[in-house]
Amino acid sequence: MTTITTFYLSRIVGIKAYDSNEKYVGIVKDLLVESESSNLTSGHPAVTGIKIKHNNQLSFYSFQQFRVEKVNGKIKIIATQLTNLPEENINNDLSLIESVLDKQIVDINGRKLVRVNDVRLVSLVNGTFAVAVDIGVEGLLRRIGIAKPLKFGLSLVGSDMPGKFINWNDFEAIDFSNLNIKLSKTYKKLQTLHPSDLADIIEELGKKASAEIFSSLDDEKAADVMEELEPETQVQILESLSIEKAADVLDKMPADEVADILDGLEDEKIELLLNEMEEETSQDVRELLVYPDHTVGSIMSSEFMSFNLNMTIEEVLNELRRTKPESETLYNLFVTDESDVLLATFSIRDVVITPPDTQINRIMKPSPVHLRDYQKINEVAEIVSKYNLLAIPVVDNKNVLKGMVVIDDVIEDLIRKRRTNK
Amino acid sequence: MFKNRKSLFQKIAIFLAILGPGIITGSVDNDAGGITTYSVAGAVYGYNLLWTLIPSFIVLVVIQEMNARMGIVTGKGLADLIRENAGVKATFFIFSGLLIGDIGNTTTEFAGVAGSMEVFGVSKYISVPIIGILVWILVVKGTYKIAERIFLLFSVSLLMYVVSALMGKPHWGEIGHAIISPQLEVNTQSMAMIIGIIGTTIAPWMLFYMQSSVIEKGLDMKQYKYSLVDIVVGCTATVVVAFFIIVACASTLHVNGTIINEAKDAALALKPLAGAIASQVFAFGLFIASIFSATILPLATSFYVCEAFGFEAGIDKKWDEAKEFYTLYTSILILSGGIILLPNAPLILISLWSQVINGMLLPVVLVCMILLVNNKKIMGKYVNKPINNIISWVTIIALTGLSLTLLFLKLFS
């Protein structure tokens, strides 16, 4: 046999398999392919096993001794020998019926969820491989059994039905919710997606799949994705994680975001999480949690950099290099006195264009626009727009600097308000 | 530090936030088709069919509870679950039926709009296109959420049927007597009426709608009991409104022997018997209910069809992102609005056949649901309790029996 046979999963599932002596072996129920964790020698995963039903009994056989042929347009499957598939393959390999066909998968290039209508396979001399998934209308019609007549009809009027396929390397199977065995998947391809896209996908998924994908992410990535999720999904995901993992993820997030998320949880759970988190982060979060909703304190970020007015630019730069703050903290710098009372602001631009031995008090802008921590949020947007600010310092009633509100948080609040008004 | 943060007030707040899926579903349930069926039932059989509301209520609660539970546990829509577990062919059958049935139902809603506005002297050639375009803009331009709330507020106006009923001075003694021992002749018409009442109370699309709304709220198992309260409140509202529509028509039209075919007839016939206000209240209720359902039904239908077949769907998507969804939605609206505007449109036939399709589809969807909700791989420890299964299977068998009887009667009589 030197021919290449391409075929669809839907054409092979449900047909009868025979051995080389034309003896009936059973009905094909499923195919197993190499999962991503095993090293793929070629670009595409090979079919490793086949599930066959005979006399009401299901058995898994190794696919190496099976041959797929196309005779007069009909797919035939022939078993040269029946070898039981090792337990390891049954448990670890990817079942096309259980986890791919009719399930949602992540289209990595399109960055969205799509539903699989069929799987395209190819049989070569050295084995049978899964090539692509069919997500187009043609696949649907093929499954219903009206693709061929429809295609014929279309060809009469000179038209064609465009197929839609995704190459096997460009998607990630995610739906294992119908399985009892717990696969420890790595979802390597998903790691390449932008956190916002990943968050959108997680929101659209069922509960089990979204929890599983989230817990497969490393803490850093998980924190980025968590920030992008809708509040309901944030709570739902947090509830699905172990306290330790949840605390690790929260540790990597800004304190104001953490406080927002915790607001949606039950009191006992909040205490558990805060105790598990690192002392420094949880202290900041506790302070923020005191502020009621709709006050500036509840959306402000408690991460900011403040300096003494006698420090030089050189010293400021050294301090920044030492602490390596996030970019939003870096852009807006503050000047405070010994008791943390806000005196002035200066920007990273001022720092960059000033000679290193200059003192801060020469470049700083005194009596800056500021907010009170218990002020209502809806006044903030106006102030931001009026003074063209990227961030505003927040002080308490003794003018002690407590944090800052970044324009990003203001926009987020505005969007949320608009959405709930809809 | 955080002790006592959740006071009684907060518990109420949680409930109000979760509140919705059941109550909205309950309100949409009393649509133009429902109001028509209840009015005709009251006019023809007086108080004698009121008892059907009791089994309807029980079944409604049991089914919606299963939907809510499935939504909470899996976070997946019913359409998704059916596609993933039953394959393409079964999905294709169910959703073709759902689509055809819902086009019929939407037509009935527009008939309600036309009929109720005619009571106020507005021609259907004006009311139907205007409402159709308004509904379309409402959804496509993305102001749907605020519309949903306005509708919810307006659906309180359905309680106006209580006023309408009381104006007809019903005999409470007779009502009680009729519920306990109804005087009912068993024949083809009364059988069809009973099926009609149950069929209009439990519509197949409602199951999909209920589950999606629960998911949209992002509930978890801890909030299950609030969700249950929501369902019971919604179902009670549905049944109470149905009760008063039947009573309103029974204590006036039935007593005087007035025969009606449509909900509009009921509104018109109430005028000399219970006064102009009662008539207008009745028509206004019909108008609101019709628009509410004419908005939600096509939207919901397009959503489930796209969900099942893997097309992008959702009103938060742009037209280019979800072409199939918006095309389907627009087509359903144009088709069903257009049918109403045809002179001599066979409205009674359309509403009859959409009820028949619903009746046949409901047992199929219910069987799928029960198989799903009893599947340990999907539901884990939250599979059905025996009592749920008993009630569900009895319902399926009874509904299948009734639907087949109806179909048989319609075809051979």
pLDDT (tens digit per residue) in B103-162: 999 998 999 999 899 888 888 899 999 999 988 888 887 666 666 667 677 667 777 778
pLDDT (tens digit per residue) in B340-358: 998 887 877 787 777 778 8
Better-scored residue on pLDDT, A242 or A154: A242
Predicted complex ipTM? 0.75
Residue B143 is predicted with a pLDDT of: 64
Better-scored residue on pLDDT, A61 or A208: A61
Residues 108 to 167 of B: which have CB under 8 A from any A CB? 142-146
Note whether B142 contacts A289, CB cutoff 8 Å: no
Q: Are residues A271 and A211 in the same domain?
A: yes
Per-residue confidence at A6, pLDDT binned at 50, 70, 90?
confident
Interface mutation vs chain A, best among B88, B139, B304, most A CBs within 10 Å = B88
Average pLDDT over residues A256-264: 85
Task: Indicate the DSSP class of residue B155.
Answer: G
Q: Are residues A245 and A104 in the same domain?
A: no
8 Å CB contact between A19 and A25 = yes
Residue A151 lies in a domain: yes
Task: State which of A257, A290, A323 marks the end of a domain.
Answer: A290
Note whether B1 contacts A286, CB cutoff 8 Å: yes
* CATH assignment of the domain containing A246: 1.25.60.10
Residue A33 is predicted with a pLDDT of: 87
Whole-structure pTM value: 0.78
Note whether A206 contacts B80, CB cutoff 8 Å: yes
Q: How far is B78 from chain A (nearest CA, A)?
A: 11
A300/A404 Cα distance (integer angstroms): 5
Per-residue confidence at A353, pLDDT binned at 50, 70, 90?
very high
8 Å CB contact between A388 and A347 = no
Residue A10 lies in a domain: yes
* pLDDT > 50? residue A328: yes
Residue B70 is predicted with a pLDDT of: 92
What is the percent of chain A where pLDDT is above 70? 94
Q: Are residues A139 and A223 in the same domain?
A: no
Residue A112 touches partner B, C-beta closer than 8 Å: yes
- What is the total count of domains within chain A? 3
Highest mean pLDDT among A87-96, A159-168, A317-326, B263-272: A317-326
* pLDDT > 70? residue A37: no
Joined tokens for residue A130: 């899964």
Q: Which residues of B touch A175 (CB under 8 A)?
A: 84
Alpha-carbon distances, residue B150 vs B81, B122, B140, B154 (angstroms): 31, 23, 17, 6
Q: What domains does chain B contain, in order, with CATH numbers?
A: 18-404 (1.20.1740.10)
- Cα angle A304, A305, A309; round to 5: 140
* pLDDT > 70? residue B278: yes
Average pLDDT over residues B269-285: 81
Better-scored residue on pLDDT, A371 or B165: A371
Residue A95 touches partner B, C-beta closer than 8 Å: no
Q: Which residues of A touch B312 (CB under 8 A)?
A: 112
Joined tokens for residue A285: 């979060």
Interface mutation vs chain A, best among B1, B2, B372, most A CBs within 10 Å = B2
Residue A272 is predicted with a pLDDT of: 87
Q: Are residues A265 and A237 in the same domain?
A: yes
Nearest to B310 among A114, A206, A239 (CB): A114
Q: Are residues A99 and A230 in the same domain?
A: no
Q: Which residues, 6 or more positions from A148, have their beta carbon under 8 angstroms from its beta carbon?
A: A142
Note whether B6 contacts A267, CB cutoff 8 Å: yes
A288/A301 Cα distance (integer angstroms): 9
- Return the number of CB contacts < 8 Å for A and B: 76
8 Å CB contact between A83 and A61 = yes
Better-scored residue on pLDDT, A299 or A178: A299
Residue B1 is predicted with a pLDDT of: 36
Q: How far is A291 from chain B (nearest CA, A)?
A: 12
Q: Which residues, 6 or more positions from B363, have their beta carbon under 8 angstroms from its beta carbon?
A: B396, B399, B400, B403
A279 lies in which domain range?
A: 194-290
Average pLDDT over residues A17-46: 79
Q: Are residues A157 and A222 in the same domain?
A: no
A311/A358 Cα distance (integer angstroms): 8
Instruction: Find the closest chain A residue to B310 by CA distance.
Output: A115
Residue B74 touches partner A, C-beta closer than 8 Å: yes
Residue A324 lies in a domain: yes
Note whether B2 contacts A143, CB cutoff 8 Å: no
Instruction: Find the closest chain B residue to A270 by CA distance.
Output: B2
Highest mean pLDDT among B22-26, B109-113, B194-198: B109-113
Residue A135 lies in a domain: yes
Q: How far is A79 from chain B (nearest CA, A)?
A: 27
Q: Are residues A154 and A11 in the same domain?
A: yes
Instruction: Find the closest chain A residue to B149 by CA distance.
Output: A422
Residue A175 lies in a domain: no
8 Å CB contact between B374 and B390 = no
Residue B147 is predicted with a pLDDT of: 66
Residue A78 lies in a domain: yes
Note whether A422 contacts B310, CB cutoff 8 Å: no
Average pLDDT over residues B327-350: 88
Note whether A207 contacts B85, CB cutoff 8 Å: no
Residue A29 touches partner B, C-beta closer than 8 Å: no
Q: Are residues A273 and A312 in the same domain?
A: no
Residue A180 is predicted with a pLDDT of: 46
Q: Which residues, 6 or more positions from A371, have their beta carbon under 8 angstroms from its beta carbon?
A: A296, A300, A380, A383, A392, A393, A394, A395, A405
Interface mutation vs chain B, best among A29, A179, A207, most B CBs within 10 Å = A207
pLDDT (tens digit per residue) in A176-213: 654 444 455 667 788 888 998 999 888 888 887 888 88
Q: How far is A400 from chain B (nearest CA, A)?
A: 23
Residue A300 lies in a domain: no
Alpha-carbon distances, residue A261 vs A10, A266, B122, B226 (angstroms): 45, 11, 52, 22
Task: State which of A154, A170, A186 marks the end of a domain.
Answer: A170
Average pLDDT over residues B266-273: 80
Q: Are residues A161 and A204 in the same domain?
A: no
SS (H, E, C) chain A: CCCCEEEEHHHHCCCEEEECCCCEEEEEEEEEECCCCCCCCCCCCEEEEEEEEECCEEEEEEHHHEEEEEECCEEEEEECCCCECCHHHHHHCEEHHHHCCCCEEEECCCCEEEECCEEEEEEECCEEEEEEEECCHHHHHHHHCCHHHHHHHHHHCCCCCCCCEEEHHHEEECCCCCCCCCCCCCCHHHHHCCHHHHHHHHHHCCHHHHHHHHHHCCHHHHHHHHHHCCHHHHHHHHHHCCHHHHHHHHHCCCHHHHHHHHCCCCHHHHHHHHHHCCHHHHHHHHHHHCCCCCEHHHHCECCCEEECCCCEHHHHHHHHHHHCCCHHHHHEEEEECCCCEEEEEEEHHHHHHCCCCCEHHHHCEECCCCEECCCEHHHHHHHHHHHCCCEEEEECCCCEEEEEEEHHHHHHHHHHHHHHHC
* pLDDT > 70? residue B78: yes
Q: Are residues A22 and A146 in the same domain?
A: yes
Q: Which residues of B touch A239 (CB under 8 A)?
A: 220
What average pLDDT does the structure give for chain B? 83
Note whether B2 contacts A115, CB cutoff 8 Å: no
Average pLDDT over residues B360-373: 89
Average pLDDT over residues A223-245: 88
Please tell me the least confidently modeled range out of A38-52, A386-400, B29-43, B324-338. Answer: A38-52
Q: Are residues A271 and A315 in the same domain?
A: no
Residue A176 lies in a domain: no
Residue A336 is predicted with a pLDDT of: 92
B391/B402 Cα distance (integer angstroms): 16
B413/B411 Cα distance (integer angstroms): 6
Beta bridge partners of A84: A61
* CATH assignment of the domain containing A316: 3.10.580.10
Average pLDDT over residues A246-251: 90
Q: How far is A241 from chain B (nearest CA, A)?
A: 14
Per-residue confidence at B3, pLDDT binned at 50, 70, 90?
very low
Q: Are residues A324 and A407 in the same domain?
A: yes
pLDDT (tens digit per residue) in A96-137: 888 888 888 888 888 888 889 999 998 888 888 888 899 888
Interface mutation vs chain B, best among A8, A102, A266, most B CBs within 10 Å = A102
